Amino acid sequence: MTNLISGKEALIALANGESVELQTIGDMNWYDSTQWTVGELLCFKGRFRLKPKTITLNGIEVSAPFKPKVGETYWCFSTQTVIGYGHNVYVSEQADRRFMNMGVWRTEDEVKQVVAALRQVFGLSDDAVNAVRGGK
């Protein structure tokens, strides 16, 4: 899921030049906090997060890789699966380096987007992969 931060952490992050997003109660969308005044942010009752970092692959904006902490699940490329990715739990740089050499992502949805963008670079589609998997 998203990495939520407190209102205090949000204000500190903004003061340090980081991008912060907020979400109102009952809303699924995240909004740029720079549209709000400091007073409004201090009174805000919703949720805050650091804006997720992204990269562009083949013209498609996808989540940037991250550095997991010990015990954290991460998703990575895998040549051992037909779908092209899998997941592991981070143990150490030594133990996980072979899985992390091309980057790792926080969620399955994030790595799916990256794999789909890379497939497009090579003229492949998810339909071709689904055919190999038996039509799933």
Sorted by where each begins, the domain ranges of the chain are: 4-51, 55-126
The DSSP line for the chain is ---EE-HHHHHHHHHTT--EEEE-TT----EEGGGS-HHHHHH--SEEEEPPPEEEETTEEEEPP--PPTT-EEEEE-TTSTTSEEEEE---HHHHHHHHTT-EESSHHHHHHHHHHHHHHTT--HHHHHHHTT--
Can you give the pLDDT of all 136 residues of the chain as single tens digits? 457 898 889 999 999 999 999 998 888 888 988 888 888 888 888 999 988 888 888 788 888 898 999 999 999 999 899 899 999 999 999 999 999 989 999 999 999 989 988 888 888 766 555 544 455 4
Q: For position 69, what pLDDT does the model report?
A: 93
Q: pLDDT tens across 56-70, in order?
A: 887 888 888 989 999
